[in-house]
């Protein structure tokens, strides 16, 4: 199943939220282990600005959550991630490698 690149990028925010001020209960249970074991790169677990911009963090959490969660849980995690990153002034942007194939 293909997900939008924005959705994939949001995972970083989800993890950022779990690592700091957003309660874990805000995220689907399937995402919790992904958040707990994410590659933080050079960010601290409490630095949402860094995590929302950290590609290593985004990639590790995206892969894990895509493999662990249902489509509904993925959508829930995306919404949480978007809100977390927005709250620290970061807008999640799709990466070129994650962009879905265009249909013509």
Lowest mean pLDDT among 1-10, 51-60, 71-80: 1-10
Percent of the chain at pLDDT above 70?
Answer: 64
Residue 76 has pLDDT above 70, yes or no: yes
Nearest to 10 by CA among 102, 97, 86: 86
Q: Identify which has the larger pLDDT, 14 or 4.
A: 14
Domain edges within the chain: 5-95
Percent of the chain with pLDDT over 90: 24
**Average pLDDT score over the chain:** 74
> Does the pLDDT of residue 66 top 70, yes or no?
yes
Give the count of beta carbons closer than 10 Å to the beta carbon of residue 78. 22
């Amino acid at each position: 199943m293909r997900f939008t690149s924005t959705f994939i990028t949001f995972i970083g925010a989800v993890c950022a939220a779990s690592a700091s001020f957003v309660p874990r209960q805000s995220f689907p249970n399937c995402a919790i282990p992904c958040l707990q074991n994410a590659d933080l790169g050079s960010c601290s677990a409490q630095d949402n600005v860094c995590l929302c911009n950290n590609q290593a963090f985004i990639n590790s959490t995206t892969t894990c959550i895509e493999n662990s969660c249902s489509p509904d849980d993925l959508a829930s995690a995306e919404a949480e991630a978007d809100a977390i990153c927005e709250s620290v002034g970061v807008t999640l942007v799709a990466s070129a490698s994650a962009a879905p194939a265009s249909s013509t």
